[in-house]
Amino acid sequence: MEISAKKLIIGLLLVFILGVLFAVVNGTYTSSTNEQLPLIVYGISFLSLILGGFIVLFFQWKISAMQLERVLKILPRDERLVVKILLDNSGAIEQNKLVVLSGFTKVQVSRIIQKLVERDVLEKKNLGNTNLILLKL
């Protein structure tokens, strides 16, 4: 799962704003009590940020997996099998290996790949005697 640059910038901006708010609260607390915030407050805040980040990543991964399953359901059986094989192989595989793993003939695999390339689901790169098939999802 990739995190887009826009989401990363927003996340960093929110963490920066949280840091500024902590500085303001610490200044207010210090001026009213002549003491700094207890160290445990900073520790709890740090752990909360880390835990929140993991929760967001987990749910984003789960949502992405659910969306992918919905997309796979609308594909014909042969195209679904090819996409699943690509997913199992980190999104890239040589076409001759795809023929072996799918159980389809070379012609069938070539036609399936061509349909998926036309719909911008796959990308095909020439590797000499074979092609490298890349998943674009």
Q: Rounded to an integer, what distance in angstroms lies between the CA atom of residue 127 and that of residue 54?
A: 39
Who's near 13: CB < 8 A, 6+ residues apart? none
Residues making up the chain, counted from first to last: 137
- In the three-class reduction of DSSP (H, G, I as helix; E, B as strand; rest coil), residue 1 is classed as coil
The strands making up 92-94's β-sheet, listed across from edge to edge, are 92-94, 131-135, 122-126
Please report the pLDDT score of residue 49 as a whole number. Answer: 84
Checking DSSP bridges between strand 131-135 and strand 122-126, what pairing results, if any?
antiparallel
Please report the pLDDT score of residue 36 as a whole number. Answer: 83
107 in Cβ contact with 114 (< 8 Å): no
Please report the pLDDT score of residue 1 as a whole number. Answer: 52
pLDDT tens, residue by residue, 94-137: 999 999 999 999 999 999 999 999 998 899 999 989 999 998 86
Alpha-carbon distance values, 13 to 8, 40, 41, 111, 127 (Å):
9, 24, 21, 47, 43
pLDDT tens, residue by residue, 70-86: 878 888 999 999 999 99
Query: In the beta sheet, which residues pair with residue 126?
Result: 131
- Rounded to the nearest integer, the mean pLDDT of the chain is 87
Pick the CATH number of 77-135 from 1.10.1130.10, 2.40.110.10, 3.30.70.1520, 1.10.10.10: 1.10.10.10
Reply yes or no on whether the pLDDT at 3 is more than 70. Answer: no
